[in-house]
Amino acid sequence: MAPATQFWDKIAEKYAKQPIADEAAYQKKLAVTRDYFRPDMEVLEIGCGTGSTAILHAPYVKHIRAIDFSAAMIAIAQGKAEAEHIDNVTFEQATIEDIDSPDQSLDAVLGLSILHLLRDKEVAMARVYQMLKPGGIFVTSTACLGDTMGWFKIIAPLGRFLGFFPFVAVFTAQELANSLTQAGFELDYQWQPGKGKAVFIVAKKPE
């Protein structure tokens, strides 16, 4: 098992119990996302964690395939979906780097609190772009530590070695936006609830 997976497996139970840090911002992100949704949409969520967001969005689209490489996160997500009788979300243990959805098959991809955890977010963005239909959207919410916590880069290797946190990439909101546009996306919506908070972006693959 890869160490990164172990980190998330270990904290899955605790993560599931954690309250949402900023409920108002979370609700706004849900609402903005739903403005883009249509009942016939095929959606992929990458790094879905314990599945709460996929379950909340389920009534607004046709189907959500929600993946996460942590077996413990997926087990919790499947348990929640079963308890809530949600039958249009498929939770699956899979790695973002190996996603196999056909090109131009998806209407929307959700990547929430995940891009900063990837070693190569540009590769993931390029793959998401390929899998989206023209006009499809990539909804992201991303910690941009480069704006307020550039020093994190210095302590990151030690924290990772001690198992305190997983790999975390440090980049600014502007760098994130640049990466998305370089991948071919148009930025349709951008919002940051406050200084140091995750940057929420809806990026569109041009028609």
Interface positions with ligand SAM (CB under 6 A)? 8, 47-49, 53, 68-70, 73, 95-97, 112-114, 117-118
What is d(CA 15, CA 47) in angstroms, rounded to the nearest whole number?
13
Residue 80 CB, nearest distance to ligand SAM (Å)?
Answer: 12
Surface-to-core class of residue 61, CB atoms within 10 Å of its CB (0-12 exposed, 13-18 middle, 19+ buried): buried
Residue 206 CB, nearest distance to ligand SAM (Å)?
Answer: 26
Residue 147 CB, nearest distance to ligand SAM (Å)?
Answer: 18
Beta strands in 72-185 (DSSP E): 89-93, 106-112, 132-142
Q: Cα 192 vs. chain centroid, distance in angstroms?
A: 16
Q: In Å, what is the CA distance from 36 to each residue of 6, 142, 200?
A: 35, 19, 14
Residue nearest to ligand SAM (CB): 49
Q: CB-wise, 17 or 40, nearer to ligand SAM?
A: 17
Q: CB-wise, 22 or 186, nearer to ligand SAM?
A: 22
Retrieve residue 52's tokens.
């709460």
Q: CB-wise, 96 or 106, nearer to ligand SAM?
A: 96
Residue 49 CB, nearest distance to ligand SAM (Å)?
Answer: 3
Radius of gyration of the chain (CA): 16
Q: CB-wise, 48 or 169, nearer to ligand SAM?
A: 48
Q: Any idea how long the chain is?
A: 207
19, 26, 58, 114: CA torsion to nearest 10: -80
Residue 134 CB, nearest distance to ligand SAM (Å)?
Answer: 26
Q: CB-wise, 25 or 48, nearer to ligand SAM?
A: 48
